[in-house]
Amino acid sequence: MERLGSTLSYFVAFAAIVTGFILSIISYLKVCADACGKAHDYTLCGYSFECYGLIFFPLIGILHFTGFHNKIIRFMTALLIAGAVGAEIDFILVQKYQIKSFCPICLAIAGCIFLTAACYFTASFLDFKQVVNKNQKGEFMKSIRKFLSALSFVFLGFLFAFVGVAKEDALTAAENGIKDKIVLGNLKSPVEVYFFSDWQCPACRSIEPTLEKIIPKIMDKARIIFVDTVVHKETLNFIPYNLSFLIYDKPKYMELRKVLTQISINNKEPTDDQIKKAIAPLGIKYQHLNYADVSGATAYFDDLVKQFNVQATPAMVIIHDQKMPGTTLMGSEISEANVMKAINSH
């Protein structure tokens, strides 16, 4: 470890750390093969692998840089890298025996960690060899303790991954996958507006004209999520159609929503043919969603109802920078003045 800062190992390790960080970004963006897609179904303690990579590599990079002249920091860095080696061994075994295919990007990230570890090991070995040649007994025992510490961190890293790695529940995966698909408005805004309504709720229908007028102004300033809230069980019959419009027909969503609202007045169980006929004048062709998307969205809507403690519809919740509890407007409180005031309050 003492010679690390003055050898080629330092620079090779730094290059491997930077490469690992870049590959983690690529993995996060899901620019990868089918095998990589399967790996995304697995998480570590509930978080995706790439999230750990996006934190681990910058942290190791900083420690590696600051440890150039600091023995203690270099030793701490070596222990973290040893733990990562243990975790990567488990990840590779998961790919081999559970996923049964290897992700090229995941393997490349593992390679970066192994190469960094090899650089640290090489430098440590050179230091150890020097200690042996000089017959420094005190330094010899210190080197042995450091080596055993590194081995223990390899084991701890493997154990952490072995216990923490799990395949994401299919419904949870579908729920996470649908979230970004149904968002309307200014996607870069830190303001989020959630509108909770039930397709068979008379009060919800009465607020729709007001909603239609203020939605364009909301979309300029905030992200908006329309949440189908099941107060009447018949609302479940409308969710697949509403979701299809949200995902595939965003530019005309409010017009389609108006059509769906009209259908809901006299029809509790609309058919595909009835929906297709009703939206034909708008030049829209109804597109079916798969069961996973509908189930995921329904679960997501239920989670939002619980999260914001929505007791009745219609309701609108406005939050800034994901800070709770935000502003909740109920029924007649949902007016242009109140909504814009809440949006502009940050």
How far, in Å, CA of 132 to CA of 62, rounded? Answer: 31
Architecture of domain 175-343: 3-Layer(aba) Sandwich (3.40)
- pLDDT band for position 5 (50/70/90)? very low
Contact 328, 315 (CB under 8 A): yes
pLDDT at residue 180, as a whole number:
81
* Chain region(s) in the chain for CATH 1.20.1440.130: 4-168
pLDDT at residue 43, as a whole number:
79
Structure tokens given for 333? 């409180």
Is the pLDDT confidence value at 306 over 60?
yes
Residues 6 or more apart from 234 whose CB is under 8 A from it? 199, 200, 268, 269
Contact 246, 260 (CB under 8 A): no
In CATH terms, the superfamily for domain 4-168 is VKOR domain (1.20.1440.130)
* Chain region(s) in the chain for CATH 3.40.30.10: 175-343
pLDDT at residue 36, as a whole number:
59
How far, in Å, CA of 69 to CA of 106, rounded? Answer: 32
List pLDDT tens digits, range 55-82: 999 999 999 989 877 888 988 999 999 9
Distances (CA, A) of 59 to 76, 160, 164, 232: 12, 19, 21, 51
- pLDDT band for position 3 (50/70/90)? very low
How far, in Å, CA of 82 to CA of 156, rounded? Answer: 9
Sequence-separated contacts (24+) of 96-100 with Cβ below 8 Å: 98/42, 98/167, 99/35, 99/38, 99/39, 99/42
Contact 14, 61 (CB under 8 A): yes
Is the pLDDT confidence value at 181 over 50?
yes
Is the pLDDT confidence value at 335 over 50?
yes
List pLDDT tens digits, range 6-45: 577 888 999 999 999 999 998 888 765 555 556 666 778 8
List pLDDT tens digits, range 211-224: 999 999 999 999 99
